[in-house]
Chains A and B, each alone.
Chain A
Amino acid sequence: MITTQGLTKVYRSRGKEVTALDGVDLHVRPGEVYGVVGTSGAGKSTLIRCVNMLERPTAGTVTVDGVDLTALPGGDNRAGRELREARRRIGMVFQHFNLLSSRTVQQNVELPLEIIGLDRTARRRKAAELLDLVGLADKARNHPAQLSGGQKQRVGIARALAGDPKVLLSDEATSALDPETTRSILALLRDLNKQLGLTVLLITHEMDVIKSVCDSAALMRGGRIVESGALTDLLADGNSRIARDLFPLGEFASGHSGHTVVEITFQGDTPAQPFVSQLARTYQIDINILGAAVETIAGRMVGRMRVELPGGHQDNVVPIGFLREQGLQVDLVGAEGVAA
């Protein structure tokens, strides 16, 4: 649904060049919620703004729903007619909501419909529908200044959906909100994704956002995507940075010498099996649990556990084999295993 190829953005200011995006290849499948995570300055904001050409990339292409937006004429601020029309099918929500204070909630939602050229009656009907969808039907006549942050973002979402977009871009939509409101806004995005089959590309600096709504994720650093994929695949990968950040087990001493430390990752139904006690009983070994976390990610139960087994790696080939037979992902931590 959204594909970028070799997307590069270089800013020039006072003779200096700053590369905000450095050859980003992104592939967002139809109907999924895709999260781009990274620290500030990683380029994620530039990336999402390049997707609807609010920023014109220096090089590379952006294709949204089969339309190559980079091929449409228009500079940063002077979009041509074709680009403007393409943008009507891409909704966008913002960190600071960007609602017009001079308009009521309903008039704010009607704005994109005015741009499309809908008549008054149709606009009213559509706005009422959208406000109902986001649960703010009773606030239609209020001004944004009278709403809470979460309510403002709901209006922002209703407005973004006015043009019946297939794609919704979310630029740190929950970063200005408290944790509880964040959860309700994310739940709304998830519902809309399911109900309307909306493809959502969101950027965030919070791993919690990725954890609670995303099907896929990408990690950005220094203008590049350093890792990306479906969350379930990433979690199964012991080397995944995203999985590690989603699951902070903390920093551990790598166990005592002469012991073997392994990380066990389980998904879906596997935690139903009492594998730790089975292992202890079957092989008569003492297992020391160093850390563990269980979370629901993308609707699936996922857990990760770090345990210490007595003896060196050679002594534990059989127990590790046993765990792998149970369908668990086992990674060695330490000298020859993954880096802690």
Chain B
Amino acid sequence: MTWDQMQELLWPATWETLQMVGVSSVATVLLGLPLGVLLVLTDKGGLLQHVPFNRVLGAIVNIGRSLPFIILMVALQGFTKAIAGTTIGWQAATVPLTIGAVPFFARLVETAVREVDGGLVEAVQSMGGSTGTIVRKTLLPESLPALVASATTTVIALIGYSAMAGVVGGGGLGDLAVRYGYLRFETGFMWVIIAELVVVVTAIQLIGDYSVRRLSHRGAVPRRFRPEVVDLPGEEQAEPASTR
């Protein structure tokens, strides 16, 4: 396979991946953020304590996280049709991608918001702030660095999930690697694709890390929220898969 032939395949696939991951990332943040906040608020001792609701919500999130993505994609076909208007192509892949990533991101949001010092909540309460004020002016701004770190992790996980979009004809880099690298034994091309994925993932991670540093005024970001900058390609490939 010549470099020109590769390029012809590579760029459309890259574009598909970026579209799929971009759209589903935005949708994931929009849905997962309120869900994660709600998990904290309705928990025992939370501002909107409602234990039965919290249990149900938690169970739904856990079910969502247990389903293998490939099953999710097939099982959700009807729903995908209703939302995206089609069951094939990258547009169709965004629906299961979002559904798969929302529970994952919501749990990360939950952990991040839980880290906010209860004393701050109390301080805002003592000023006469309502629950809405506490969420908007305390919980979210105070956990913003951790939320950005969580979003970075989620976007990278979505790149991993998107490799399976080929099943519904979604295309993308992962699909290309499977079709050429695995099915056609084009090992060289596969490595080119992997190298590109490494570059994309590293770039996203670096942007995420930089944003976290800029947003944090607390000195050091707590270690658990500092995603590691991956420098080994092998580990990098392993990461999105293990987060599933």
The CA-CA distance from A145 to B145 in the complex, in Å, is 15
List, in ascending order, chain B residues with CB within 8 A of A235's CB: none
User: Is B218 interfacial (CB-CB < 8 Å)?
Assistant: yes
Could you tell me the distance between the alpha carbons of A145 and B128 in the complex, rounded to whole angstroms?
25
Tally inter-chain residue pairs, CB-CB below 8 A. Answer: 79
Residue B125 lies at the interface, judged by CB distance under 8 Å to chain A: yes
Answer yes or no: B217 CB below 8 A from chain A CBs: yes
Asked if B138 is at the interface (CB within 8 A of a chain A CB), the reply is yes
Residues of A within 8 A of B142 (CB): 100-102
Is A112 in contact with chain B by the CB < 8 A criterion? yes
A136 at the interface (CB under 8 A from B): no
Contact A94:B119 (CB < 8 A) given known A52-B126, A77-B47: yes
B127:A102 contact, CB within 8 angstroms: no
Q: Which of A84-92, A181-189, A242-250, A256-264 contacts B (4 or more CB under 8 A)?
A: A84-92
The answer to the question of A115 belonging to the interface, with a C-beta cut-off of 8 Å to chain B, is: yes
Tell me, yes or no, whether A292 is within 8 Å of chain B by CB.
no
Q: Are A84 and B129 in contact (CB under 8 A)?
A: yes
What's the nearest-Cβ distance from chain A to residue B134, in Å? Answer: 9
Instruction: Report chain B residues within 8 Å CB of A115.
Output: 124, 127-129, 133
Is A79 at the interface (CB under 8 A from chain B)? yes
**B212 CB → nearest A CB, Å:** 13
The reply to whether B127 and A111 contact each other, CB–CB distance below 8 Å, is yes
Q: Does B60 contact A (CB under 8 A)?
A: no
Q: Which residue of B lies closest to A95 (CB)?
A: B119
Task: Say whether B207 faces chain A, with CB atoms less than 8 Å apart.
Answer: no
B window 124-147: CB within 8 A of A: 124-131, 133, 137-138, 141-142, 144
A87 touches B47 (CB 8 A): no
- Chain A: interface residue total (CB-CB under 8 A): 33
User: CB distance A143 to B217 under 8 Å?
Assistant: yes
Interface size class of B (residues with CB under 8 A): 20 to 34
Give bound CA distance, A112 to B218, whole Å. 22
Q: Beta-carbon contacts of A80-114 to B below 8 Å, as 1s and 0s?
A: 00001111101110101011111100000001101
Q: Is there contact, CB below 8 Å, between A145 and B127?
A: no
Are A88 and B127 in contact (CB-based, < 8 A)? yes
CA distance A87 to B125 in the complex (A): 8
A101, closest chain B residue (CB): B218
Given contacts A101-B142, A115-B133, contact A85 B128 (CB under 8 A): yes
Which residues from A are CB-within-8-Å of B47?
77-78
Is A303 part of the binding interface, using a Cβ–Cβ cutoff of 8 Å? Answer: no
Contact among A77, A86, A98 with B123 in the assembled complex (CB-CB below 8 Å):
A98
> In the complex, are the beta carbons of A98 and B128 less than 8 A apart?
no
Residues of A within 8 Å of B129, CB to CB, are 84, 115
CA–CA, A101 and B144, complex, Å: 11
Indicate if the CB atoms of B130 and A84 lie closer than 8 Å: yes
- A163 with B219: CB separation less than 8 A: no
Complex CA gap A102/B131 in Å reads 19
Contacts of A52 in B (CB 8 A): 126
Query: Considering the chains assembled together, what is the distance between the CA atoms of A100 and B124 in angstroms?
Result: 10
Residues in A whose Cβ lies below 8 Å from that of B123: 92, 94, 98-99, 159
- Other-chain residue from B46, B122, B124, B217 in contact with A102 (beta carbon distance below 8 A): B217
A102 touching B126, Cβ below 8 Å: no
Would A112 and B138 be within 8 Å (CB), given that A77-B46, A78-B48, A98-B117 are in contact? no
Chain B residues within an 8 Å CB radius of A94: 119, 122-123
B237 within 8 A of A: no
Taken together as a complex, chains A and B put the C-alpha atoms of A90 and B126 apart, in Å, by: 8
What is the CB-to-nearest-CB distance from B115 to chain A, in angstroms, rounded to a whole number?
Answer: 12
Q: Which of B126, B131, B141, B215 contacts A100 (CB 8 A)?
A: B141
- A276 interface residue (CB < 8 Å to B): no
Binding site for A on B (CB under 8 A): 46-49, 117, 119-120, 122-131, 133, 137-138, 141-142, 144, 215, 217-219
Listed by A's residue number, 5 A-B pairs whose Cβ atoms lie within 8 Å are A78-B47, A90-B126, A94-B123, A100-B120, A102-B144
Q: A77-B49, A86-B128, A115-B127 are in contact. List 13 more A-B contacts (CB 8 A).
A: A54-B126, A77-B46, A77-B131, A84-B130, A92-B123, A98-B123, A100-B120, A102-B215, A111-B124, A114-B137, A115-B124, A159-B127, A169-B126
Enumerate the 9 nearest inter-chain pairs by beta-carbon distance, A residue then B residue, closest first. A98-B123, A88-B128, A87-B128, A84-B128, A112-B127, A92-B126, A98-B119, A143-B217, A102-B141
